[in-house]
Amino acid sequence: MTPIIQKPTTDSDGCDVTSISGSTGWFYSDVVKDHFFHPRNFMEQEEEYRDAAVGMVGSPACGDAMRVWLRVDPATERILECKWKTFGCGSAIASTSMMSEMVTENGGMTLDEARAMRPQDILSRLGGLPSRKIHCSVLGDKALRAAINDWYRRQGKTDKMEVEQSRVIDPETKVTDKDIEDAVLHGATTLDAVQQKLKVGIGNPACIPEVEQLIRFYKEKYGGA
């Protein structure tokens, strides 16, 4: 893999790309660059991991996809190995590289510990990412959770699987909580911005308080995205 890091750009208003803290004149940290140019635990030989648990999110046809492989100690449920491969940008590569390092360091996280890890924990270790790249950084986290589910399925422990299910927030537009999550991850962090994307609550104002609550929840979950 020969990644090419993107040069700093400006947004539509001519401002520098900003960090999640809101500061300007900021771009990829040295830690992000290191994990981008020297990714840890990148999958080289898939055929050697046919016995491993695997999770995938996204679609190569849409430009972003992530696959994660796990080997876990059945006795302790600690992660022994975490391999990954992506069709994604530098932020996806760096954040997943960091995630794979975090779940395997110091003897490996338990599956419960890995599930409790938050996207902002990864962002903190990276030194942050540009706001517009936060949605790319969660691909590895979502694929990791899918791989954990696959491991439990293979072990016959289906009661420990955690399957995310969407919930309809606006019956008129059929907008779900996952639609709102995706909108926030792609930069819609106010009610007006979410409504521009999804038309949620325009014909059904009764759902607006819940929409606003979800926006706040997802902004906090993803570190101020």
Q: Which residues are catalytic?
A: 62, 136
Distance CA 207, CA 143 (A): 30
For 3, phi then psi, to 5°, come to -65, 150
Please report, to the nearest 10 degrees, the dihedral formed by the alpha carbons of residues 210, 178, 79, 157 taken in order.
90
3-state secondary structure 26-41: CCCCHHHHHHHHCCCC
Q: Which two tokens stand for residue 210?
A: 């819940």
Q: Which residues share a beta bridge with 66? A: 57, 86
Distance CA 162, CA 156 (A): 14
